[in-house]
Amino acid sequence: MQLVIVTGLSGSGKSIVLKMLEDSGYYCIDNLPATLLPQISEHLSQGHHDQVAISIDTRSASLQALPQNLRQLKDSGMEVQVLFLEANVETLVKRYSETRRRHPLSNETNTLAESISHERHLLEPLVDLGLRIDTSNLSANTLRNWVKEFVIRKSNGLTLLFSSFGFKHGIPLDADYVFDVRCLPNPYYDKELRPYTGQDQVICDFLEQQASVQLMFDDISGFVERWLPSFVADNRSYLTVALGCTGGQHRSVYLVERLGKYFREREGKVMIRHRELEKA
Q: CB of 97 within 8 A of CB of 20?
A: no
Q: What is the mean pLDDT of residues 216-234?
A: 93
Q: What is the mean pLDDT of residues 13-17?
A: 94
Q: Are residues 113 and 168 in the same domain?
A: no
Least confident of 62-66, 71-75, 127-131, 187-191: 62-66
Q: Are residues 106 and 44 in the same domain?
A: yes
Cα–Cα distance, 278 to 280 (Å, whole number): 5
Q: Are residues 219 and 177 in the same domain?
A: yes
Q: Are residues 173 and 241 in the same domain?
A: yes
Q: Please tell me the total count of domains within the chain.
A: 2
Which pLDDT tens digit goes with each residue over 39-95? 888 888 787 788 999 999 887 767 888 888 898 888 888 889 999 999 999 999 999
Nearest to 20 by CA among 151, 159, 137, 126: 151
Model pLDDT, residue 20: 92
Q: Are residues 180 and 133 in the same domain?
A: no
Q: Are residues 98 and 167 in the same domain?
A: no
Q: Are residues 41 and 93 in the same domain?
A: yes
Q: Are residues 151 and 44 in the same domain?
A: yes
Model pLDDT, residue 7: 94
Contacts made by residues 211-218, CB under 8 angstroms, sequence distance 24+: 212/183, 212/184, 212/185, 213/184, 213/185, 213/251, 213/254, 213/255, 216/179, 216/181, 216/184, 216/255, 217/255, 217/258, 217/259
Q: What is the mean pLDDT of residues 32-38?
A: 88
Q: How confident is the model at residue 273 (pLDDT cuts 50, 70, 90)?
A: very high
Least confident of 76-80, 184-188, 241-245: 76-80
CATH number for the domain including 115?
3.40.50.300
Contacts made by residues 97-106, CB under 8 angstroms, sequence distance 24+: 101/11, 103/10, 103/11, 104/10, 104/57, 104/58, 104/59, 105/10, 105/58
What is the pTM (predicted TM-score) of this model? 0.75
Cα–Cα distance, 223 to 220 (Å, whole number): 5
For residue 215, give its domain range.
Answer: 160-279
Nearest to 3 by CA among 155, 174, 159, 133: 155
Q: How confident is the model at residue 154 (pLDDT cuts 50, 70, 90)?
A: low
Q: Are residues 189 and 274 in the same domain?
A: yes
Q: Are residues 114 and 232 in the same domain?
A: no
pLDDT at 267 over 80: no
Last residue of a domain, one of 101, 121, 156: 156
Q: What is the mean pLDDT of residues 251-261?
A: 98
Q: Are residues 117 and 169 in the same domain?
A: no
DSSP conformation letters of 44-102: HHTTT-SEEEEE--TTSTTGGGHHHHHHHHHHTT-EEEEEEEE--HHHHHHHHHHHTPP
